[in-house]
Amino acid sequence: MTEPRAHVRSVPGRLKVYLGAAPGVGKTFRMLDEAHRRAARGTDVVIGLVECHGRPRTEERLVGLEAVPRLERDYRGTRFTEMDTDAVLARRPEVAVIDELAHTNIPGGRYAKRWQDVEELLAAGIDVLTTVNVQHLESLNDVVQKITGVPQRETVPDEVVRRADQIELVDMPPEGLRRRMVHGNVYGPEKVDAALSNYFRVGNLTALRELALLWVAGRVDEGLQRYRAEHGIGGVWETKERVVVALTGGPEGETLIRRAARIAARSAGGELLAVHVARSDGLTDSNPAALAAQRQLVESIGGSYHSVVGDDIPQALIDFARAENATQLVLGTSRRSKLSRSLTGIGIGEAAVALSGDIDVHMVTHEAAGRGRHQRPTGASARGAQRLAGPVAAVVVPVLLTLVLTQARHGINLTSDTLLYLAAVVGVALFGGMVSALVASVAASLLLNYYFIPPIHRFTVQEPNNVLALVILVAVALVVAMVVDRAAQLAQRAARATAEAETLSVLTHDVLGGEETIPALLTRLRETFGMDRVTLITRDRTGAETVLSTDTLTGTSAGSARHGAVDEEVAVTDDAALVLRGRPLPAADRRVLTAFAAHVRAALDRARLAHAAAEAAPTQETHRTRAALLSAVSHDLRDPLAAALTAVGALRTEEENPLSPRQEQLLGIAEESLERLAQLAEDLHDLSRLHTGVLVPRPERTDPAEAFAAVSEELADSGPVLLRQRGLDNVPPVDADPTLLERVLANLVADAVEHCRGAVDGTEIVVAGSTLGNRVEVRVVDHGPSLRPGEADRLFEPAVPFYGGATPSPSSRAGATLHLALAHGFADCMGATLTPEDTPGGGLTMVLDLPAWQGS
């Protein structure tokens, strides 16, 4: 046996998972082989827990490995054994071998699931070898149930397994596993026939095997992408076919999608990714309804839909394809006519081909090819050329028009010349904007004056009408330019709003469709704004940052980014923020970015609530079990106790056989004890009714003084304790159930009496009343033991041995009796509140707050 060695490691441990398609493929055997290999190399290896299920060959592999003793735990009358996590932590081996990662722990332990124990060991720096079957993965649980018809109660989150440093697939053909079962190497002989004809059918095993292979392949692909990012590899590695299809919302979309799907289907495991590039100034000729329909088609055939923002569409398409390690890009041929293509030059398809490099580009023809209208080119390069070409046209167009008009001087009069110059200025305004129109109007007026208005070849005007014509020419040109420029601005705003609405529509579709996980939202955010990296971080009170999730562009390592990249931060919550690394974002993008942050905040809240619910689930199950036990015990005790009390009473009143003083004394003690047990059973019954919610209050006008009178009569024999009231006659009636109010006061007084037993004669318990606005406070004041530090949180916990917790000490107030738990439950049922306060000089004061009666 290996001697324990001091093993302290500041870094987290490494997790290796042996994944199988079904029970019996050899996961545990393979894991134990690895344990023996490591032990032979001198590594300190211990068995945390291994389930052999009666398999002799597996049991043989345990020989020679130290095993940490298991922890025994009773549950529902049966004794179970569990891994002793604390013992493993105290032993501190280098490697712990822990079978069945998805196992649900017996209630009463620190964690509900074994994978949570494993995470604690990893955090302590202990490496872990473990096993899991594919049917226990959370994301595949429902799929496996549809295949096999067997629901799986024990699951493990996919993310837990994905975080493993190594995942080894333990594979076996279905026929081989069935032979292993026939030979008795998996189940006992009595179970083999049923297993072979049900869960272990060849079809089931084949489907489970395919699920396991595909899941591991996805994990391997994630590792490959991470490696490419860490090493700055931007080229395409054709490990499997990834086909990207570009969509514009045009009529050719469905044709392109189906063609791309056929290309992806030619290769096993091929992926289809549809991408729509929304320009920052909006997408010309895009149809949101058509895009929505095309997205639905993509998802119906198993593809994924993505939306990115980019001014240079060909470059955005190629960047996206390289980021996804795509091997092929499918584009539709241009819808522009031949004349339009000849005027505007190279199109998106040709530009994408030129930029594609090692990505294959498919140009797919369709019915709408060549039938579209001319589209004014946009994008950063187009706008740059337009800014330069506008002023040039403002000078060149009037000059060229002058050359033409001088040749036709005798066929065209001055009016026609003026109108032609005006038309030229309007054309320049449409093309180049306000500044170009101003330059063109000045140039046109000067040329018209010099060449066509007498005296010719002089900048003078003889006729006043000609002066007016020149002024009108300049004024009309400027007005038209202003209108055109304003229209262009409005069009740009409208296009921008359309692009934002489209992005938000895609985001909303993802959330409503269930794609609301934080990693998915970060990926969508990075794609939408074309960033290098998006990180969700949290900050504690000291300012220390913790990274919750990161999505990085393939080919960009965590410590690098493109030239000129900057960080953009947006708050998600008070302690969480999104950090975007990449291009500077304009102020106009803030609205969409804020919408993303709101969705991330909602996803973060859901994740935190889910984590809290998972942690609370074992406690809720324990409370349900305790409530059921309370109900059963209280119900089963009532009849026997009533019969025993009747029998004792009959013995004490029997006249034919008089009792001796000793017998009379013993029967009196028995009767008193039985009465206390009967009261305990009644209290348990009331407590179970409170927990199950079957107790329905009937509020009415109730006098607190009358309720106290009934209680004082019931508790007349309080020993040395004196019970008195103060101020109850002066408070108004309350809105409460009279029976429940009496039960509350009776339990509060009984608890006070219980803790004042042994007090000197004359010790008082005071029930005082006071009014505060439309509320009435009833205080039960005693001078027994005071609350200890930390007892206030446990004050209303019932003190029942099977209900949980250790038996309190006699001087403790928290959980000492059932009375406070019952009083709190009855008060809560009526809508009243019950709070504890310290009594001046020592003791406890219970404050019952009730609404005053508002009726007539």
| Phi and psi, residue 372, nearest 5° | -85, 175
Provide the pLDDT confidence category of residue 243 given band limits of 50, 70 and 90. very high
Over 80: is that where the pLDDT of 81 sits?
yes
pLDDT at 274: 92
Per-residue tokens: 362: 């498919």
pLDDT at 446: 84
Per-residue tokens: 633: 């015990």
For residue 136, give every residue at least 6 positions away whose Cβ sits within 8 Å of its Cβ, in sequence order, or none: 101, 102, 152, 154, 155, 156
Over 80: is that where the pLDDT of 537 sits?
yes
> Which of 789, 775, 798, 764 is closest to 847 using CA atoms?
775
Q: What percent of the chain lies above the pLDDT cut of 90?
A: 18
Average pLDDT over residues 623-640: 67
Q: Which residue's entry shows tokens 């209900």?
A: 803
Q: Which residue's entry shows tokens 């000729």?
A: 285
pLDDT at 3: 47
Name the more confident of 662 and 758. 662
Average pLDDT over residues 532-544: 80
* Helix (H), strand (E), coil (C) string for 830-844: HCCEEEEEECCCCCE
Over 60: is that where the pLDDT of 617 sits?
yes
Q: How far apart are the two ends of the chain, measured CA to CA in Å?
A: 84
Over 80: is that where the pLDDT of 748 sits?
yes
DSSP H or E run through 534: strand 533-539
Provide the pLDDT confidence category of residue 230 given band limits of 50, 70 and 90. low
Cα 363 to chain center, whole Å?
Answer: 40
Helix axis angle, 313-323 relative to 348-355, nearest 10°?
A: 40
> Which of 791, 690, 786, 699 is closest to 738 using CA atoms?
699
Over 90: is that where the pLDDT of 717 sits?
no
Highest mean pLDDT among 287-296, 334-343, 779-788, 814-823: 779-788
> Which of 321, 184, 319 is closest to 242 using CA atoms?
321
pLDDT at 706: 92
CA pair distance 473, 423, nearest whole angstrom: 10
CA pair distance 692, 705, nearest whole angstrom: 31
Cα 815 to chain center, whole Å?
Answer: 38
Provide the pLDDT confidence category of residue 655 given band limits of 50, 70 and 90. low
pLDDT at 141: 80
State whether the Cα torsion 674-676-677-678 is positive or negative: positive
pLDDT at 375: 47
State whether the Cα torsion 362-368-369-373 is positive or negative: negative
Average pLDDT over residues 345-364: 83
Q: Which amino acid is at 38?
A: R
DSSP H or E run through 707: helix 704-714
Are 658 and 834 in contact, with CB atoms under 8 Å apart? no
CA pair distance 740, 737, nearest whole angstrom: 5
Q: Which amino acid is at 462?
A: Q
pLDDT tens, position by position, 358-377: 888 998 887 766 555 444 44
pLDDT at 714: 74
Q: What is the mean pLDDT of the chain?
A: 79
CA pair distance 569, 534, nearest whole angstrom: 10
CA pair distance 161, 115, nearest whole angstrom: 9
Are 531 and 583 in contact, with CB atoms under 8 Å apart? yes
Percentages helix, strand, coil for the chain, rounded to the nearest 5? 50, 15, 30
Are 27 and 138 in contact, with CB atoms under 8 Å apart? no
CA pair distance 292, 297, nearest whole angstrom: 9
Environment class of residue 770 by beta-carbon count within 10 Å: exposed (0-12), middle (13-18) or buried (19+)?
A: middle
> Which of 531, 492, 555, 507 is closest to 309 using CA atoms?
531
CA pair distance 182, 199, nearest whole angstrom: 14
Over 60: is that where the pLDDT of 552 sits?
yes
| Residue 377 CA: distances (Å) to CA of 385, 449, 792 | 10, 36, 73
Are 320 and 550 in contact, with CB atoms under 8 Å apart? no
Average pLDDT over residues 508-519: 61
Q: Which residue's entry shows tokens 């960047």?
A: 319
Provide the pLDDT confidence category of residue 512 given band limits of 50, 70 and 90. low
CA pair distance 556, 523, nearest whole angstrom: 14
CA pair distance 45, 307, nearest whole angstrom: 50
CA pair distance 765, 779, nearest whole angstrom: 10
| 113: helix, strand or coil | strand
State whether the Cα torsion 686-687-692-695 is positive or negative: positive
Highest mean pLDDT among 286-290, 561-565, 835-839, 846-850: 846-850
Sheet hosting strand 15-20, strand order edge to edge: 66-67, 45-49, 95-98, 127-133, 15-20, 166-170
| Residue 115 CA: distances (Å) to CA of 103, 574, 680, 724 | 8, 31, 41, 58
Average pLDDT over residues 92-110: 90
Are 749 and 715 in contact, with CB atoms under 8 Å apart? yes
pLDDT at 381: 47
| 817: helix, strand or coil | coil
CA pair distance 597, 713, nearest whole angstrom: 64
pLDDT tens, position by position, 800-825: 443 444 444 445 555 556 788 888 88
Are 34 and 148 in contact, with CB atoms under 8 Å apart? no
| Residue 839 CA: distances (Å) to CA of 592, 753, 770, 787, 844 | 58, 15, 17, 10, 5
pLDDT tens, position by position, 206-224: 999 988 888 887 777 666 7
Average pLDDT over residues 776-799: 80
* Helix (H), strand (E), coil (C) string for 306-373: EEEECCCHHHHHHHHHHHCCCCEEEEECCCECHHHHHHHCCCHHHHHHHHCCCCEEEEECCCCCCCEC
Sheet hosting strand 271-278, strand order edge to edge: 304-309, 271-278, 242-247, 328-332, 360-364
Average pLDDT over residues 522-529: 74
Highest mean pLDDT among 145-149, 176-180, 341-345, 776-780: 776-780
Cα 596 to chain center, whole Å?
Answer: 14
Name the more confident of 222 and 142. 142
State whether the Cα torsion 655-660-664-667 is positive or negative: negative
CA pair distance 322, 357, nearest whole angstrom: 10
Provide the pLDDT confidence category of residue 523 given band limits of 50, 70 and 90. confident
pLDDT at 336: 64
Per-residue tokens: 761: 């004669």
Over 50: is that where the pLDDT of 283 sits?
no
CA pair distance 76, 842, nearest whole angstrom: 42
Average pLDDT over residues 667-691: 75
Q: What percent of the chain lies above the pLDDT cut of 70?
A: 77
User: Lowest mean pLDDT: which of 107-116, 474-483, 721-730?
Assistant: 474-483
pLDDT at 723: 85
pLDDT at 453: 78
CA pair distance 497, 282, nearest whole angstrom: 8
Q: Which amino acid is at 610?
A: A
pLDDT tens, position by position, 403-457: 888 888 777 887 788 888 888 888 887 777 777 888 888 888 888 888 887 788 8
DSSP H or E run through 689: helix 661-692
Beta-carbon count within 10 A of 330 CB: 24
Are 712 and 723 in contact, with CB atoms under 8 Å apart? yes
| 639: helix, strand or coil | helix
Over 90: is that where the pLDDT of 131 sits?
yes
Over 70: is that where the pLDDT of 6 sits?
no
